[in-house]
Structure 1
């Protein structure tokens, strides 16, 4: 295999990394390169890493770019550095050793492998104990992020009435995610609460909300996907890149941005825009004072 003329060796917190194919175009429609992806993750690392800490990561990898082959990577790959933090996780398929993105060096190592999207579960060490609730708002045919904002505001009212604080973000695609930090809670209890919340929204706004996955029911409505709270499922981490024609970001938001949204384009952010934000809309989300109880 010919040598990569763009390869560079760098050291991050005492960890030596070889970064390769830096000029590779990962998003052909915009010309966005691997170097740009690495730069973005380096810039947002202080905001991103706390949301990855202690959680087994699932990487959606695009080694040759978003228009080429993609695949999920959960197991620690062959040749991975010995200094990676890992976690043994029991899946239906059996035991699996997964990477925990614990520091900047690990984040850049993963991005260098083409791991554009970073996904994590709603638990840290124990799948039976969740420390957050996630509501995924997915627009069906004929609706957009604007309707997702309306549903998010309705969901917020119900959550506040139950003593819970929700933090919104874009999915990085067409929808929204609401995250509720929790004190460690049995997984079944979290899942049951999310399912009932979705049902309450559907009963009060049947023309706007659907809580079942069948595609025939989703036209003109927002699907409130409560199933993301299953211990086996993962969600794109806040600040994760997303694959699409253009590089997207699962972007944390202020509630005022949802209330003011009138066009879906208002909630689409480039990596450069996210990295240049002067304030973190999710400041305080991980503080114990904001943890809720079901």
Structure 2
């Protein structure tokens, strides 16, 4: 019989707590739930009012994985949701994780958390801009760091502040707070900078998605700014061989990275980093940090 726990007055049935999800580290589902509850005070503000998409991996990263945007069957009636416009399939309802009880319910499903660059109150109006830096082997996160620093300086020239985190996979995410802006315009601006980076950094980066062009280069994916796209949420666990976390990092850590392992963080390292640094992405939650996206979307070739 599954244990029943009460979280903020909500009764939850938590299943298979001793199940090993990450064999390489022996990390159990119970430890995953513990991570989510102890990180909730940092994680929940970044999820607030953003429709959540789930990458589910109930049997661990080596088992079946499936991506879902709709509210999962059997979701408790008290889990909030919002209607989200989908350009091809029409509107859909997606989960909102607004409180600890909802987060624990989602964590019990074993999920990665992915969110768009806008909130339910203003669908398609981005309040942040994202660059996903994805290295093609033999390039690693070390090369991503060089591209990230160039982008940070280029954004600063336009009056924008960039915050950086690991993807929890192989690369980095740059996140920029902006005044609410139509997603097509943030996408066009991000593309402009990705193309400029390719011209400035020579053989280091590419903005083109074609996989044949990506070995040994950092692919600067600007497309996640599109209204229908999502990005792994800060502090989410990833469905990788080990329980890696999409972790905020300092620009000093980026500048000092010489080995990929220096920017790989597991779930049991996050509490110590938060104690040392606080939430490095907290400024993204402040409207005062948002700046306008430059106009005149240039499209260099």
TM-score, normalised on structure 2? 0.93
Question: Deviation per CA, 1:158-202, whole angstroms, max 9, x where unpaired?
Answer: 000000001000000110000001111011110100000101101
Provide Cα deviations, 1:192-249, integer angstroms capped at 9, x if missing partner. 0000010110111121111101112112211111111111111000000001111110
Report if the CA contact (8 A) 1:252-1:281 is conserved: yes
> Which residue of the other structure, out of 99, 103, 123, is the alignment partner of 2:99?
103
Aligned positions of 1:16-165 closer than 5 A? 16-91=11-86, 92-115=88-111, 117-125=112-120, 126-165=122-161
Cα distance in 2 between the residues matched to 1:89 and 1:128: 10
Alpha-carbon distance in structure 2 between the residues aligned to 1:150 and 1:128: 31
Check the 8 A contact 1:28/1:67 in 2, yes or no: no
Q: How many residues align?
A: 288
Q: 1:179 aligns with which of 175, 182, 194?
A: 175
Equivalent in the alignment of 1:270: 266
User: Which consecutive unaligned segments of at least 5 residues does structure 2 have?
Assistant: 294-301
Q: Secondary structure at the match of 1:248?
A: coil
1:38 CA drift (Å): 0.2
Indicate which of 188, 195, 199 corresponds to 1:199.
195
Q: For residue 267 of structure 1, report the CA deviation from its aligned partner.
A: 0.2
1:172–1:268 CA contact under 8 A, matched in 2: yes
- 1:116-137 per-position Cα deviation (integer Å, ceiling 9, x unaligned): x000011112332111100000
Point out where structure 1 has 5 or more consecutive residues left out of the alignment. none
Q: Distance in 1 between matches of 2:153 and 2:72?
A: 44
Task: State the TM-score, normalizing by the size of structure 1.
Answer: 0.95
Aligned to 2:287: 288
- Helix, strand or coil at the partner of 1:207: helix
- Alignment check: 8 A CA contact 1:127 1:187 kept: no
Q: Is 1:250 matched with 2:246? A: yes
> Which residue number corresponds to residue 10 of structure 2?
15
Aligned-partner SS, 1:132: strand
| Range 122-131 or range 191-200, more displaced | 122-131
Alignment root-mean-square deviation, CA: 1.1
Quote how far apart the aligned CAs of 1:28 are: 1.9
